A and B are shown apart, each in its own frame.
Chain A
Amino acid sequence: MMFATQIIPPLAILLGAAGAWLMLPRGAARGRGVGIALMAVALGLGASRLPYLGGWLAESLFLALAAVTVVSAIGAVTFRNPIYCAVWFGQSLLGMAGLYLLIGAQFLAVATIVVYAGAILVMFLFVLMLAQPKGRASYDRVSWEAPLSAVAGALMVGILSMAIGGALGQGGPSNSPGRPLAPPSQAALVQNVLAPQHVVRFGGELFGRYAIAVEVAGVLLLVALVGAAVIVQQSQPTGDDNRHE
């Protein structure tokens, strides 16, 4: 029985890699349905090894939101039509916002929807409308080394999950070996991160301790604005008389 539970995470990662390879666009090759089935089995196996959150409501909410996020991310990566990729990415962002809400980061949930799904995604769609040729281009129908990149992703997920298991396995994370950090109590959480006046606390921290970072972020946004304008203007074809006025 012990052997069976230990074999599940590597098996899930291997199945996920095979599923990702089959789901990626590979020209005329078949097997996309098999890839979806393999990926679903892998995600189910992985989810079965997650620890119980201590409440059926929290557990089911987390599983539903995580499923929406991860499945939409996989869709955003594997669909052939880039418009569909962008739409799946938007759905993944909605799942992310739900996960943020579940853990108590209310402001970030709203910021994700407003900034990511509202602004960045629309910018993606604008550029796609500008630049996408008619029909499905050949470069959308075939990918680079699909098996190799699936193996690279599987290695990454494997290493990260091993690191998570090693850090959290012995009773919790620790700064020094053998002395796990005490997890926060509910009373302490309500005092600070889960305070009822979340945005008040968040804003106080943002404009108190991180005020200089806010200024730097403002400068960075201005520089990016100017830089984007300069890049687009310089790419215009030369010979335009109005350009040097």
Chain B
Amino acid sequence: MNSEVALLNNYLAVGAVLFGVGLVGFLSRRNMIVMFLSVEIMLQGVSLSLVGWSRFHNGFGGQMFVLFMIAVAACEAAVALALVVALFERRGNLDIAAWHGLREANQPPFREKPLPEEPSDRPQALPRLAPAGARPETPSEDVDYRPEI
């Protein structure tokens, strides 16, 4: 096989795999932001194919396509993340299943199966002391502190 054809073949194959990976993520994940990341992965797969064809046809058309795709992806990210923030403010979480009221009329409602509590990564190994004296005030920084996000 000619080396240029081999290069095109390899780039198209990697683009196809990226598209498939993004498709799996979009269909299966429930976090709206991760769904959106999966769509970006699908876009990357298509961009890779376009650049491969651009090289094979010895023209800049495919690369121009990818440049405009980047511009449109930036617009899309701005609008979609604004929508995500708006949806988050209504429901208080990023779960797409919180919007199952938008399903089709003949579909059953979504019911979450109960999950077992996840074991904490950091075991609480603090010493227990007998309480004595006045109860100290907890600073607000300690109350709001989140060790992980």
By the criterion CB–CB under 8 Å, are B115 and A53 in contact?
no
- Once bound together, how far apart are the Cα atoms of A62 and B10, in whole Å? 9
- Once bound together, how far apart are the Cα atoms of A28 and B123, in whole Å? 19
- Once bound together, how far apart are the Cα atoms of A223 and B76, in whole Å? 11
As a 0/1 sequence over residues 8 to 25 of chain B, the CB contacts with chain A under 8 angstroms (1 = contact) are: 111111101111111111
> With a CB–CB cut-off of 8 A, which chain B residues contact A221?
71, 74-75
- Once bound together, how far apart are the Cα atoms of A119 and B57, in whole Å? 31
Judge whether B6 is part of the interface by a CB distance below 8 angstroms.
Answer: yes
- Once bound together, how far apart are the Cα atoms of A144 and B100, in whole Å? 13
By the criterion CB–CB under 8 Å, are A192 and B59 in contact?
yes
**B88-96, B125-133, B135-143: which lies at the A interface?**
B88-96
- Once bound together, how far apart are the Cα atoms of A229 and B78, in whole Å? 9
Distance (Å) between the CB of A38 and the closest chain B CB? 14
By the criterion CB–CB under 8 Å, are A77 and B60 in contact?
no
**Known interface pairs A69-B14, A131-B94, A235-B90. Does A139 touch B30 (Cβ–Cβ under 8 Å)?**
yes
As a 0/1 sequence over residues 25 to 40 of chain B, the CB contacts with chain A under 8 angstroms (1 = contact) are: 1011111011011101
By the criterion CB–CB under 8 Å, are A77 and B33 in contact?
no
Distance (Å) between the CB of A123 and the closest chain B CB? 6
- Once bound together, how far apart are the Cα atoms of A54 and B68, in whole Å? 32
> With a CB–CB cut-off of 8 A, which chain A residues contact B17?
46, 70, 157
> With a CB–CB cut-off of 8 A, which chain B residues contact A150?
24, 28
Distance (Å) between the CB of B117 and the closest chain A CB? 10
Distance (Å) between the CB of A210 and the closest chain B CB? 5
- Once bound together, how far apart are the Cα atoms of A89 and B29, in whole Å? 15
Judge whether A8 is part of the interface by a CB distance below 8 angstroms.
Answer: no
By the criterion CB–CB under 8 Å, are A184 and B85 in contact?
no
By the criterion CB–CB under 8 Å, are B41 and A77 in contact?
yes
Distance (Å) between the CB of B97 and the closest chain A CB? 7
By the criterion CB–CB under 8 Å, are A137 and B94 in contact?
yes
As a 0/1 sequence over residues 188 to 203 of chain A, the CB contacts with chain B under 8 angstroms (1 = contact) are: 1100110000000110
- Once bound together, how far apart are the Cα atoms of A122 and B23, in whole Å? 23
A-B contact pairs, 17 of them (CB 8 A): A51-B10, A54-B6, A76-B38, A76-B41, A77-B21, A77-B41, A78-B25, A96-B47, A99-B11, A107-B63, A133-B93, A136-B118, A145-B28, A157-B20, A184-B57, A201-B60, A234-B86
Not counting A70-B21, A96-B48, A224-B78, a sample of 6 additional A-B residue pairs whose C-beta atoms are within 8 angstroms of each other reads A76-B37, A82-B34, A127-B84, A132-B94, A140-B31, A149-B24
- Residues of B participating in the A interface, judged by any CB pair closer than 8 Å: 1-14, 16-25, 27-31, 33-34, 36-38, 40-41, 44, 47-48, 51-52, 54-60, 63-64, 66-68, 70-79, 81-86, 88-90, 93-97, 112-113, 115-116, 118, 146, 148-149
- Residues of A participating in the B interface, judged by any CB pair closer than 8 Å: 20, 24-25, 27-28, 46, 50-55, 58, 62, 66, 69-70, 73-74, 76-78, 82-83, 85-86, 89, 92-93, 96, 99-100, 103-105, 107-108, 111-112, 115-116, 119-120, 123-124, 127-146, 148-150, 152-154, 156-157, 160-161, 164, 168, 171-173, 181, 183-184, 188-189, 192-193, 201-202, 205-206, 210, 213, 217, 220-221, 223-225, 227-229, 231-232, 234-237
- 3 tightest Cβ-Cβ pairs between the two chains A and B: A77-B25, A235-B86, A224-B75
